[in-house]
Structure 1
Amino acid sequence: MYIIKLNAIDSTNSYLKDLAAVSLPKDYTVVAADLQTKGKGQMGAEWHAEAGKNLTASVFKRIPNFKVTDQFYISMTVALAISTALSHFKIPQLRIKWPNDILSANRKICGILIENVIKNNQLQGSIIGFGLNVNQKLFENLPQASSMSVLTGILYDKDEVLAEVLKQLQIYFEILESGQLEDLKYKYESLLFRKDKPSTFLGADDQRFAGIIQGITETGQLQVWTEDDIIKYFDLKEVKLLY
């Protein structure tokens, strides 16, 4: 494992993308920064974190001989690994909000952004970026955000947290690479936020509707039993869970 530690950078994911554009980094090349000036989230959103208080890092994982059509299993693998790591630090009521935000009860403590490197229609590897709120106490204008320290009252060693996350990533990627896809999907759905509970959603047309999350498909679509008694399937940009 090769770890690059930086004081500040625009984006750890962008750093690894630039490396990968030249030649594929070594497996489990890690870039961690005390401050990201342009941290990225899902669908182009920015990730804001207080300097020095949180864990902002990206990991390059080589994934040879993996089907491009199965790439959502990478997302499941990462979400499960980080959730398991957090459980070791006694973070309560851990849930995965589709597709891969990590919550404690209904408070977001970790965002994940996975950017796959695909060349000639072959998956070469994945850049796994995550922003984990560790010791930050205040989240201005972010009422649904929290941190490990706020939840437990403990001040954490970020290097210790990173080490546990990397350990769990290795464990869960071994499960993925051994072909235990059904097991990963079952574990992921068991932690899925609001699964089997009546919920409100916002559709792509900005219309609200009620439904119950049933699970996900193998390609990562959210499966929702809607109020008109129809099972519908949604891609990431097609629906937002309101909570």
Structure 2
Amino acid sequence: MYSNLDRPPLNVTELRRGLDPFFSQLDVVAETGSTNADLLARAADAEADRSVLVAEFQTSGRGRHQRTWVSPAQAQVALSVLVRLPGIAPADLGWLPLLTGVAVADAVRSVAKVPAELKWPNDVLVEGRKLCGILAEVGTTGKNPTVVVGIGLNVSLTEDELPVPEATSLVLAGAEVSDRTTLVRSLLRDFASRFTAWESAGWATSELADVYRERCATIGAQVRAELPGGDRIEGTATDVDANGRLIIDGRAVSAGDVTHLRPLE
């Protein structure tokens, strides 16, 4: 794989040296199809837990609804984390991607000094443009479920390299820091802190929900939600409930594509 001097490779030694004790393993690969798919293949191994896989380049990165997520090599943070959640209620598993969104937004704010915020359920935005996508996939179910959560954070993409016009990158957003090694360390540290607090609370979601609401730009916005099955609703998003569902004019939405609507001129 060609290495762009303006996009240096991750410093694996530094990543492992600074790895939070929460994690059991961190691997970096030059290229793979999908970091999520790779970790899902390990989910059946009872010893696999709290593993991190980072790729310099993904050929088949996935978003929600099987959308592709492609970026030039070494221009984004593409990583996945495998975690087990012993004793969690199945209904609460949906909070993991929301927690991950909080961790990414906080890392971007603290390290890059970019005003990141969340669009329900877990897109990370800067000034209304998508900076990061998150995809959680269940590997195993039962009393000790395994979930793999993937993160695709745009770091140095130019306008011409963006997958869609509504996207952005840290460099385009004027980030003070765009070193991917620093970003990965901060992101994993924030994820570990949030996950540990959630687990220590017995997977209770009240505190996590409050933190999420503080960072969610969708709450209070006029939105359109495209629901599974083709239904559509428009209205004001007023809250996120205890199950992580978005409340739009009193109606709870558990899944769908949400668009923030511009106010009429």
TM-score, reference length from structure 1? 0.88
Measured in 2, the distance between the counterparts of 1:175 and 1:35 equals 32
1:14 corresponds to 2:66: no
Q: Who is 2:28 aligned against?
A: 5
Q: Which has the higher strand share?
A: 1
Q: Is the Cα–Cα contact under 8 Å of residues 68 and 122 in structure 1 kept in the other structure?
A: no
Q: Is the 8 A contact 1:101 1:110 kept in 2?
A: yes
Identical aligned residues as a percent: 23
2:231 is aligned with 1:214: no
Which region of structure 1 is more displaced relative to structure 2, 131-140 or 4-13?
A: 131-140
Distance in 1 of aligned mates of 2:112 and 2:163:
27
Distance of 2:165 and 2:135 partners within structure 1: 21
Report the Cα distance in structure 2 between the residues aligned to 1:137 and 1:211, rounded to whole angstroms.
34
Partner of 2:259: 241
Matched, 1:159 2:177: no
Structure 1 unaligned segments of length 5 or more: list them.
226-230
Supply the AA of the counterpart residue of 2:93: Q
Q: 226, 232, 251: which is aligned to 1:232?
A: 251
Say which of 176, 187, 192 aligns to 1:170: 192
Amino acid at match of 2:38: Y
Alignment check: 8 A CA contact 2:115 2:126 kept? yes
- CA shift, 1:56, in A, is 0.4
Matched, 1:134 2:155: yes
Following superposition, the deviation at residue 242 of structure 1 comes to 4.5
Is 1:51 the equivalent of 2:60? Answer: no
Greater shift, 177-186 or 196-205, is seen at: 196-205
* Alignment partner of 1:32 is 2:50: no
* Cα distance between partner residues in 2 of 1:153 and 1:221: 31
Q: CA deviation at 1:29?
A: 1.0
Name the structure 1 match of 2:217. 193
Cα deviation 1:74-125 (Å, max 9, x = unaligned): 1222111111111112443321111111111201111001112333x33422
Q: CA deviation at 1:49?
A: 1.3
- The equivalences for 1:87-166 within 5 A come to 87-119=109-141, 121-138=142-159, 139-140=161-162, 142-152=164-174, 154=176, 156-166=178-188
Secondary structure of residue in 2 paired with 1:3: strand
Separation in structure 1 between the aligned mates of residue 170 and residue 149 of structure 2, nearest angstrom: 20
Shift of 1:155: 5.9
Residue 30 of structure 1, CA deviation? 0.9
Seen in structure 2, the aligned counterparts of structure 1 residues 68 and 205 have a Cα distance that, compared at 3 Å, is closer
RMSD (Å) for aligned C-alpha atoms? 2.1
Deviation at 1:181, TM superposition (A): 1.9
1:23-62 residue CA offsets vs partner (Å, 9 max, x unmatched): 1454321111111111011121111211111110101112
**Residue in structure 2 matched with residue 223 of structure 1 by the alignment:** 247
Structure 2 counterpart of 1:69, from 91, 101, 107: 91
AA matched with 1:99:
P
Structure 2 letter corresponding to 1:8: E
Q: Partner letter of residue 132 of structure 1?
A: L
What's the offset of the Cα at 1:213?
Answer: 0.5
Q: 1:140 to 1:131 in 2, by over 3 A?
A: closer
Shift of 1:234: 1.6
In the alignment, residue 196 of structure 1 is paired with which amino acid? G
Cα distance in structure 2, aligned partners of 1:204 and 1:177:
31
